[in-house]
Chain A
Amino acid sequence: MSKITAKDVRKVAQLARLDLPDDQIATYTEQLEKILAYVAQLEEIDTANVKPTTRAVEVVNVTRTDEVSATPVREELLDLAPQREGDFFRVPKILAE
């Protein structure tokens, strides 16, 4: 685990779709550095041959019949959109110039 830089944080912010100004990137870099340094204590722990836990209480596959059913709140869901056009969500253009 190497030290995190402002360049790393900017890249991560892009991956996470966060448009952050430079001063905020600087603050987050400083904070993430401290947090990741703390988290680095995990490196000291011997986890050879230890199985990862993905869920605390194991459940076997839960299956159900694959049946089509109507969503009773279709109109309400569409109305939640910041911009609705008929039965569609309206968004700015998808491809940049």
Chain B
Amino acid sequence: MAIAEWRQQLKLGEVSARELTDHQLARIAVVDPTLHAFLDITAERARADADRIDEALAAGESLPPLAGVPLAIKDNLCTKGIRTTCSSRMLETFVPPYESTVTERLWQAGAVLLGKTNLDEFAMGSSTETSAFGATSNPWDVSRVPGGSSGGSAAAVAAGECMAALGSDTGGSIRQPASFCGVVGLKPTYGRVSRWGLVAFASSLDQVGPFTTNVADAAELLQVIAGSDPRDSTCLNVAVPDYCAALSQPMSGVRIGLIRECFDQNGLDAQVKRTVLEAAEKLQSLGAELVEVSCPRFSDGIATYYVIAPSEASANLARYDGVKYGYRAEGADALAAMTARSRAEGFGSEVQRRILIGTYALSAGYMDAYYKKAQQVRTLIRQDFDAAFQTVDVLLTPTSPTTAFQVGAHADDPLAMYLADLLTIPANLAGLPAISLPCGFDDDGLPIGVQLIANVLEESRLLQVAFHYEQAANVMANHPQGNFIP
């Protein structure tokens, strides 16, 4: 059910907010023991929030835009009084004394919190397998990963456990799981949405965004969470347009660029390639003009990212010292030893690996060779995009080179896992908004995602093109049942 449809049902008294919330909690009780999308389920609070919406409606009050909409929130967004773990032993018992800006805006808009979702530890990973509290399964085939790092949020939306969810995207952590789970995932422009209360991973790349079952819902959620915030100085002080109004703008004259380098990749699955190119043709039939463009430095995104992101992470994660909050190792008799042991025991291996890479890249004698070099290549990647947007409005690529892979497929090879982010990372490096939406299925019945990338602050354009494609292609209406969780 889409949010607009729900709003109508609520207003007409067909379904109460409490009934919808109870329905979602029942669905969670059925499927989550198998999926493990949630780390914590906030049933009591959800029912109380839903009851308040029903009371307000009965009292004749006008309802806020997301009244009664049941949501799941990635567990790296601080929720006041509700455990926020980042799927790490380090924060296993951390209960934030404050609320993140994005979630505060959602609750003010009437949304109902169902629970907090699983992620790769500190959002570092592409499969949700690095969670200290166990992996999440893909609802389309539980032997496969849901993608990551926001795998819990993606799986929860795909399996119908919630109406929508929030995730965060540093190198593809919203779009890649959206692609693997057959849902819509939007990463806004860097600075479009406040990061206050988002546990920091790589501060120049992190951005919060929605997971939804359809494009219009993504517009609805972005409308609520976007906009400046005095508590995040990198959050842009730019007016928020009416995203829902943008959806139905006509497609004629829209120029869509196919990035040549993305379709020439060796690791690109043939079915993914064919299906994504069919999506491009569908857009052409709707009035868009297709143009081939070149972004020569696109493929250098991964190498650039795996210097910049770990470098920023090593600085951000220095705060976990066993002193002020978080895990503290027992038995150390001096401060430095206590900190070093707390971090060795509290962080999992993916987090430690990235802290080591980042510390190395920033250490004396290596900083110019790694960090500065990566920042320079980052400039070249941005310039490629700038040049492309001289001639096109939106860029189109596959979201991921493959469909969802098997659990454990990359367990012994971190680098192979990193390569899964090939097509999503460049948008983070350039700060651009990008969306993934379903465009078909492979022979195993697994969803395939198409990625659209727009210029800075052009979310309206992105949503418009995605909406037209979604309405015309109607991909999810005819999805294969396959191994989908009942």
Contact = CB atoms under 8 A, between A and B. Distances in A.
A77 B414 CA distance: 36
Nearest to A35: B415
Most chain B CB within 10 A, of A24, A31, A89, is at: A31
A92 B378 contact: no
Most chain A CB within 10 A, of B335, B353, B356, B431, is at: B356
B204 A73 contact: no
A85 B32 CA distance: 41
A55 B207 CA distance: 13
A40 B361 CA distance: 12
Contact of B352 (A4, A20, A59): A20
Contact of B356 (A16, A73, A96): A16
A77 B321 CA distance: 15
Interface string B229-244: 0100110110000000
B343 A18 contact: yes
Interface of chain A: mostly helix, strand, loop or mixed: loop
Contact of A16 (B205, B355, B366): B355
A50 B191 contact: no
Query: Contact size class for A?
Result: 35 or more
B414 A35 contact: yes
Contacts of B297: 45
B81 to A, nearest CB: 9
B97 A91 contact: no
Query: Contact size class for B?
Result: 35 or more
B304 interface: yes
Interface in A46-90: 47, 50-57, 59, 62, 64, 73, 76-77, 80-83, 89
A43 B369 CA distance: 8
Contacts of A57: 189-191, 236, 431, 456
Interface of A: 1, 4, 8-9, 12-20, 24, 28, 31-32, 34-36, 38-43, 45, 47, 50-57, 59, 62, 64, 73, 76-77, 80-83, 89, 91-96
Given A17-B321, A64-B230, 13 more contacts: A15-B359, A17-B343, A28-B352, A34-B414, A35-B418, A38-B303, A38-B306, A39-B303, A45-B373, A73-B97, A81-B323, A82-B325, A92-B333
Interface of B: 94-95, 97-98, 189-191, 204-205, 230, 233-234, 236-237, 297, 300, 302-304, 306-307, 314, 318, 321-328, 332-341, 343-344, 347, 349, 352-353, 355-357, 359-360, 363, 366, 369-370, 372-380, 382, 414-415, 418, 428-432, 456
